[in-house]
Amino acid sequence: ETGVTQSPTHLIKTRGQQVTLRCSSQSGHNTVSWYQQALGQGPQFIFQYYREEENGRGNFPPRFSGLQFPNYSSELNVNALELDDSALYLCASSFGTLAANTGELFFGEGSRLTVL
């Protein structure tokens, strides 16, 4: 148990729809990173939020967006869903951006998105 919770655990959408995934970080952690993991692949960094601001982004298009709230929980929004967006979306929390970049990350169990 890492103390990081994600919701929903599973969901099915159709192409063109929009989805919002949620993450509650571990108590005391102020940094949240989001990853996409396709089947059989390693996690791919989407972006990181620190103090409610985006603080680093991977190679994902603008239709992937996020938010971080004052309580450090976070949302990942994906617009205009495509079939290739089907994946496990993982949220990871840590304390401080330096730790998020070079130290241990605490992961939630993920949200599995299927796009039909």
Q: Of residues 20, 22, 56, 75, which one binds another protein by CB under 8 A? A: 56
User: Within 66-85, which residues bind another protein (CB under 8 A)?
Assistant: none
> What residues have CB less than 8 Å from 53, skipping those under 6 apart?
68
CB of residue 16 to another protein, shortest distance in Å: 26
Q: Does 108 bind another protein (CB under 8 A)?
A: yes
Q: What is the DSSP letter of 15?
A: T
User: Within 23-42, which residues bind another protein (CB under 8 A)?
Assistant: 33, 40-42
Q: How many residues bind to another protein according to rule CB under 8 A?
A: 31
Using CA atoms, how far residue 111 sits from 30, 35, 79, 91, in Å, is 21, 11, 16, 9
Q: Judging by DSSP bridges, how do beta strands 106-107 and 5-7 pair with one another?
A: unpaired
Q: Is 22 exposed, middle or buried (0-12, 13-18, 19+ CB in 10 A)?
A: middle
> What residues have CB less than 8 Å from 98, skipping those under 6 apart?
none
Q: Of residues 19, 78, 81, 88, which one binds another protein by CB under 8 A? A: 88
Q: Point out which span in 21-29, 66-74, 76-84, 90-98 binds another protein (CB under 8 A).
A: 90-98
Question: Which residue's CB is nearer to another protein, number 16 or number 53?
Answer: 53
CB of residue 41 to another protein, shortest distance in Å: 6
